[in-house]
Chain A
């Protein structure tokens, strides 16, 4: 099982997955419980929906750069980033993002472990 598949199989920690077009295609139950979003809210929508507005442009630029250059700074390591909850609040979460190419297209899966006290 690849790391990508392992993340998608995670039950305890919130998980979200998106394609290279930035469209969400999967969230787990834990993600729904933790951040208030439902599968209907997110799947088929842009990934930026779960990002605080002030980080969206930077995300788009960084995301696009990765696709252009495939050089990355944040994949496969733990970094702390904010998550935009459905109720409008922002929570910090330890992100672990990984990517995998399938049929020539990138797919990304991320663990968004909420950070207490944030």
Chain B
């Protein structure tokens, strides 16, 4: 590992740890009923968001799913604003109107936060179309789970993006289960890259538990899309260590399977590689952990101290407040 690689890998480790510790805190806060509604945690899948977002430029767009805390954090949305959103506070990134499943940050081109499986793909196509028509060399990174490939919107969007050669990087997070439905129980074709390739776009499987591999694949994909080569499909093979949501008794998968995947924990895997390369030691890891703990404690304090939007403002933002006269 070169010094440069070690620095980049260290940044990925830091990002993954932020997400992991943030999600663990969310689970705790959910148990305390500070967070309500549906809560979907990203534990186990951190390498995907950290790796892809590391390959993006500030002007690129990100479209994510309802399991998007990790993407928001990796995109630079402050942990304070995300947590306050889940507390339903005015200081949240959406004033408490979206909650865990609907995080948005226009200033970072973070377009959520879509809780209809497959619903974000057409929007990513449109964002990329706008960039193409306005001559901006940007890409739109669109995250979705493997469950989305069963939706018509997936196929419509893949076709449209490929037909118009739009700069979309389709990031399929294949964690093997659409909620509780295993891929093999819902798809006749299990090789997702075959589906994407049938639309005439490059499609690569990537080890989604290996953050540097994800970042490298995402950089190649962005380079190709940005250069006008049309969309790219990445199948990021990953695994969700925790339940689908806080209401999931996990009847559909084997505990031994979960334990096997945990042996491939993306954080510990990268930790080991950095240590082997002499780029990380106990003190280094401790300092990363301390920084996460401090940031998350700050986010909790921020969310706790946040204010509630007065109910008199309930009907704001249904339509825009400023319309042309």
Report if A and B associate in a common complex.
Answer: no
